[in-house]
Each structure stands twice: as C-alpha cells, then as structure tokens.
Amino acid sequence: MQSPKILMLLTVILLIGCADSDEELHEALVENNYKCDEAKGITPVCGFKNPEDLAVVPGGDLLLVSEMGTFLSDSPGTLSFLDIANQQRLLIKFVWKNDSDQWGDIHCAAPEPTKFSPHGIDLMTRTDGRHQLLVVNHGSEAIEFFELIKPDNSWQLHWKGCAKPDDDLFMNDVASLNDGGFFVTHMWNKSTPFPEVVAKLTAGEKIGWIMEWQRGAGFVKVPDSDALMPNGIAVNKDNSKVFVNIYMANKTIKFDRATSKVEAEMVVKNPDNIVVDDDGNLWIASHLNDPIEGRCEDNHPGPCLLPFQIIKVNPDSMQPEVVFTHDGAPMGYATVGLPHRARLYFGSASGDRLASVALTTTP
C-alpha cells in the first residue's frame, strides 16, 4: 500500500498536469487540501471563522466558540456554539439591553453590537450559581460581562456590563476570579504600529504585562509582570495560582496571586491559550511555526495548516507531556486545546474550522 505522502504527491502532480492556469491550479490545491473531511483521526467542523477560543457550556452538549475578527483589524466577529452531537455550528441569541444588575464597572458604556470583536473568553459558574462569560472585545477594547442563561430551552447571552481600561492596552485573554474580578493579558500598546511592535519584541523588549481588575479598584498592573507578549491566562480552582503563557519568550509561568512571585516556569514553543480541566491540569496549545515569518495570510481560504502541539501540564510540578502533535490537513495552527468527553477539541485564530481528535490520555 502506498503511503499517504506518496499519494498526496501523485495527486499534486496530476493536478499540475490538468490545470490550465496558475489560478486553476491554486483552486484545485485548495479543494484537495482544504476538504472538510476526517483525516489522520482528526474530525473537522467547518463554517466557523477564526474560532480562536473554546469553552464547555453547562450540560456538556455544546461548546461556546469565540469567532475572532481578522487579527489587528478590530473587525467584527461573533460568538457561536458547536453542537457536539450533530457536529454543526449554531447561532447564539444576544440580549444587549441590560436593565438589571451590573457585573462590571457601572461607568462602562455598552458596546456597539455591530462592532463586537471577540478574542479570549472565560466561562465560569459564579458562587451564586449563575453562569458568567467574560469576553475580550477588541471593538471597544474592553472586557464584556455576559450571563449565559436558558430561559426557553435554548441558551442565550445577556450583556451584564463591561470593564474598560484607561490605558492604551491591547488585550488577549481573560481569566475569571471567584470574587468577581479577573486577570487579563496585555500584549503591547494598541496604538503602536505593528512593524515597531515586531522590532521591539524581536529585540527582547518586554512591552506587555498582566493586569488584575476588581470592581472599585479597576485595572491594576501585577507587579513585575512585564513580559514578551503575554497570551493565554488561567487560574487554579481556589484562585491562588495564576498561569500565563508568554508567547514570544517561549515559556509558561506560574505565579502566586498573593505575592505576585513567579514560582515556576517551563519551556513551551510559542504557547497560546490555556485550558484548566476538572482535575486542575493545564492544556496548552503550542505553535511550532516561526511566529513572525511563518504565519498564514489573513482571510485565506480553508484552514491554516501550520504545525502545532497540545501539551498537558501538571500544575504542581509544572512537568509537560506532549499529548498531540500535528502538521498539515485537515487543520493546523491550533490556538486552544480543550479536553471534553474523551475527545480533544481544537480552535484556531486563522481559518474556517475547528476540529477534534480522540484522546489517548485521560483528561
């Protein structure tokens, strides 16, 4: 039996011979490589746009999906569901008018729904039993509070306020706290031209940091948290430890919330989002491409097929275990790895799909 790589090469040769033009060849290659079919044990679900972050909806039958706009553009995106049983994308009903309690800063103005541009998300069940979703919104560069409710047998998102920093922040990910506050990562000053950002990061300038927000106190910088592009962030169950992926420094750190002291760090190639499972383990999406020169073109067709790994980490020892590594079709450039019901789900900040694979390790 011929290997998959040989068969792929033969397919490409045939396509080159049959194509009448470069454009036809490109279309044929796109059709061949970007099919939304299971391959290498990976099951894709298409119809999404840049499904950058994921969370499990209470009950476990749905995943909440953050569909990000084009990076650096603040273009509109949305939130949607993945129906796990039917493997399809579902719309979410938003209720933007809020006449009841505010969960955020009472002075923060409601966003323009047409400019809603989500990035990192965090879904938690509060101490009062209500389901709170926090969303990084680049449309207004604020953290939006939503309540996830199910009034008529279908889940809805009701806006419950927001928190907007006064500084020139460009936020990435958010982690909810049991006391009503949150942590957020700041990558670099948003007004800085991107070529200047790249120059600073490649020169090793720590132009990002971590912020904590509390109602009343507002946004406060975590002491000594300056870093090379903080990305994903998460907290443990009792909120005593904070885990942060420092993307351009190729590491994940753990710091104590009470002292802000870094207690441990480990090497991870370009770590993106962090998921904390029910047992407290960390699941980290790691990019294996060159972060500056090797990224996919914005608004490309199909998926971004850059190589990635998903790493499982013991939060006490901070010892990593590579759970899954992949390069090529049907999906790449995973920005999040979410274990759920014996499968590992991937989202991506670049492409038209999310995907899943059977877990061979226990979450």
Q: What is the pLDDT of residue 33?
A: 59
Q: What is the pLDDT of residue 32?
A: 56
> How far is it, in rounded angstroms, from Cα 284 to Cα 269?
10
pTM: 0.91
Average pLDDT for runs of 10 along the chain of length 363: 37 38 49 82 98 98 97 95 98 90 92 97 97 98 97 94 95 97 98 96 97 96 98 98 98 97 98 98 97 90 97 97 97 98 98 96 53
- Tell whether 130 and 262 lie within a shared domain: yes
> How far is it, in rounded angstroms, from Cα 156 to Cα 133?
11
Tokens of 224: 């000594």
38 occurs within a structural domain:
no
363 occurs within a structural domain:
no
Q: Which domain holds residue 287?
A: 47-358
The order of strands in the sheet holding 343-348 is 42-46, 353-358, 343-348, 334-340
- Tell whether 99 and 175 lie within a shared domain: yes
> How far is it, in rounded angstroms, from Cα 333 to Cα 356?
13
- Tell whether 22 and 52 lie within a shared domain: no
Q: What is the pLDDT of residue 361?
A: 58
39 occurs within a structural domain:
no
Please give the helix or strand (H or E) that residue 124 lies within, else none: strand 118-125
> How far is it, in rounded angstroms, from Cα 179 to Cα 182?
8
Q: Looking at residue 288, which CATH number applies to its domain?
A: 2.120.10.30
Tokens of 295: 């990224």
Question: How many domains, in total, are found in the chain?
Answer: 2
40 occurs within a structural domain:
no
Q: Do 152 and 140 contact (CB within 8 A), yes or no? A: no
- Tell whether 310 and 263 lie within a shared domain: yes
pLDDT digits (tens, 9 = 90+) for 206-265: 999 999 999 999 999 999 999 999 999 999 999 999 999 999 999 999 999 999 999 999
pLDDT digits (tens, 9 = 90+) for 138-150: 999 999 999 999 9
- Tell whether 19 and 154 lie within a shared domain: no
- Tell whether 27 and 88 lie within a shared domain: no
Euclidean distance between the first and the last CA atom of the chain, given in angstroms as a whole number? 35
> How far is it, in rounded angstroms, from Cα 50 to Cα 43?
17
271 occurs within a structural domain:
yes
- Tell whether 90 and 150 lie within a shared domain: yes
- Tell whether 101 and 226 lie within a shared domain: yes
Nearest Cα residue to 122 out of 142, 146, 100, 89 = 146
- Tell whether 22 and 54 lie within a shared domain: no
Nearest Cα residue to 309 out of 330, 329, 336, 291 = 336
139 occurs within a structural domain:
yes
- Tell whether 255 and 320 lie within a shared domain: yes
- Tell whether 192 and 223 lie within a shared domain: yes
Nearest Cα residue to 79 out of 40, 136, 17, 130 = 136
42 occurs within a structural domain:
no
R_g over Cα of the chain: 20
- Tell whether 146 and 294 lie within a shared domain: yes
51 occurs within a structural domain:
yes
